[in-house]
Copies of this chain bind each other. A is one copy, B any other.
Amino acid sequence: MIAEQRSVRDLRTTKPDKICIMILDSETKAVELPEHHGDELRLWLRLLTCTTLIEGEVRSRLRERFDVTLPRFDLMAQLDKVPEGMTLSDVSKRMMVSNGNVTGLVERLVESGHLDRRTSDADRRVQVIRLTKAGRAEFRKMAAEHELWIADVFGDLTPKDVRELMRLLAKTKASAQKSAKARAG
């Protein structure tokens, strides 16, 4: 079982099982490792730090300026893109959160008048939700500022940096999806 877990893609080409890799990192010092995965781990931690940092910043600003939570904003953002509305399942897939989570979130947003919810005629299991007129207006106001915040957060990156990051993150996403699929499927 563990042996299977260890068949990491990195090592597929190396045949023996006990190879030691000698790494000379001029910036720090020489390190010797049986398997060299430290870089990926550091990369992951840095990715996580960036996201957490920015997410916290956006969360604070949304609360300060509009007294709204990030999940609500995200849900409204999804709906803004599709005026004819979407099902709860669609939302949960797009937001990458659990189904039960969306139920509660939608409940509160319907309650506050931002969302409109109706049972589908074709399939009575399905709930279609849309932004109300008021909900859409409020979201647009928030979204406009939000875009400026984000631009500011990434303000020190050159256009080239942005393009390069986009490219590398696309590659990362594909790699991660492949890895997730390999485990589950």
Check if A47 sits within 8 Å of B50, measured CB to CB.
Answer: yes
Given A39-B162, A151-B37, A169 and B53 touching (CB < 8 A)? no
Check if A159 sits within 8 Å of B39, measured CB to CB.
Answer: yes
Check if A173 sits within 8 Å of B44, measured CB to CB.
Answer: no
For window 56-115 of A, CB contacts with B under 8 Å fall at 56-57, 61, 65, 96
A19 at the interface (CB under 8 A from B): no
Contact of A55 among B48, B50, B161, B177 (CB under 8 A): B48
A155 at the interface (CB under 8 A from B): yes
A22 at the interface (CB under 8 A from B): no
- Say how far A144's CB is from chain B's closest CB, in angstroms: 10
| Residue in chain B with minimal CB distance to A173 | B50
| Residue in chain B with minimal CB distance to A165 | B168
A-B contact pairs, 12 of them (CB 8 A): A9-B151, A9-B155, A37-B150, A40-B162, A42-B166, A44-B153, A46-B169, A47-B165, A48-B55, A57-B183, A153-B175, A164-B168
- Report which A residues bind B (CB closer than 8 A): 2, 5-6, 8-10, 27, 35, 37-44, 46-57, 61, 65, 96, 145, 147-157, 159, 161-166, 168-180, 182-183
